[in-house]
Amino acid sequence: MRNCKLGLLFLLVFVILVYPIKEVRASVPKDFSISAQAAILIEQSSGRVLYAKQEHEKLRIASITKIMTAILAIESGKMDEMVTVSDRAFGTEGSSIYLRVNEKIQLEDLVYGLMLRSGNDAAVAIAEHVGESVEGFVLLMNQKAEELGMNNTMFQNPHGLDDHEDHYSSAYDMALLTQYAMENEQYREISATKTYKVDSEEIRVFKNKNRMLTEFYPYSTGGKTGYTKRAKRTLVSTASKEEMDLIVVTINAPSDWYDHLHLFEWAYEHYQLETLVSKGKLKGVNDPFYKDQLFTKKEVTYPLSSDEKDQLRYEMTLVRGEENKELENVNTSEPIGKLQFSVGEQVIEAVPLFLEPKEKEKKGFWSRWLGLFAYTLGVNRDD
């Protein structure tokens, strides 16, 4: 019987880990339009898609490629190292921070030049230092893309220039990448920087090209611009207002600044970030056995409209034995159940529930010794 119950527990764990969360599409007015060929708007913490247009289409992405280059450089642990600029980096076409051959510059300074000024020469210098070659770095880029589930992405260079036919991504994939990057404190700091001074062999001052950050939107927290003749205008931007963090990606958008402003303001007007469950002990559980014993390991938040709040429902599933005491030996590091949230008929989130270990009575040395002695003598046996 006990093995059967453990099997049920493992099945429940499996269901919790692989359960496909259905996406609840936001209700967008019919007259809502933007200029972009492809676009997406998501909320950072939940990843909920609030708006999408051709979001999975494979397209050229220009310099928003550099978000991947930046996060790989940051995660390399080499940001304090000095980089020697190669002939290849010096000769890179397009936007530049005007590196000189054999110049030595800190990797961190290169990442600022990459993100603020979109330096293609900085991208190559970063790639050669972190990946030991541009080609080696591209392998790292595609490996990270696969890890993040960027299924419609192929990187062929660290800067986004149109030098390969099969360098592409999608609005959805770039939102996934940005969501991941924004979890990194150093990336957030660099992305949000308006002006940066390099004081090394050559003094440089980088002013951020992202006008969403520097001019247009007071709630902007960063992003990355892009443009090539074939990709046209691409833009990733992030914003934070009323404790809700949003990400917008547009590809081939003639009016990208307006598109992003429009999407941000629409989302902040119609949605609020709601805490579905807080981290820690779960309150309101009336079951005698589970009361004050269930807890969650993370806080779960989700953006909801006013109408959706009225439709919000939750359902708790818990492992039950014929006698609750049989659960006392369950591994408390494994989920004992799940708390599932729905809007209408669609599941939006599911969080594992864990059983808080009960403290066992502690016996002193002499108590344990006497117990053993009594058992040895047969005092506690039924004759």
Binding site, annotated residues: 224
What does the chain come to in residues? 383
Please, what's the b/e burial string for 334-346 (b: 16 or more CB within 10 A of its CB; e: otherwise)? Answer: ebbbbbbbbbeee
Cα–Cα distance, 88 to 40 (Å, whole number): 35
- Joined together, the tokens standing for residue 266 give 């629409």
Q: At what angle do helices 134-147 and 66-75 cross, to 10 degrees?
A: 90
State yes or no: is 144 an active-site residue.
Answer: no
63 is known as an active-site residue: yes
Instruction: Indicate the burial class of 102 (C-beta count within 10 angstroms; 0-12, 13-18, 19 or more).
Output: exposed
Catalytic residue, from 63, 169, 237, 305: name it: 63
Q: Which residue among 46, 86, 95, 118 is the active-site one?
A: 118
d(CA 190, CA 223): 10
Report d(CA 87, CA 136) in Å as an integer: 17
Query: Can 169 be counted among the known catalytic residues?
Result: no
Q: Residues comprising the binding site for substrate?
A: 224
Cα–Cα distance, 195 to 112 (Å, whole number): 9
Residues with catalytic function: 63, 66, 118
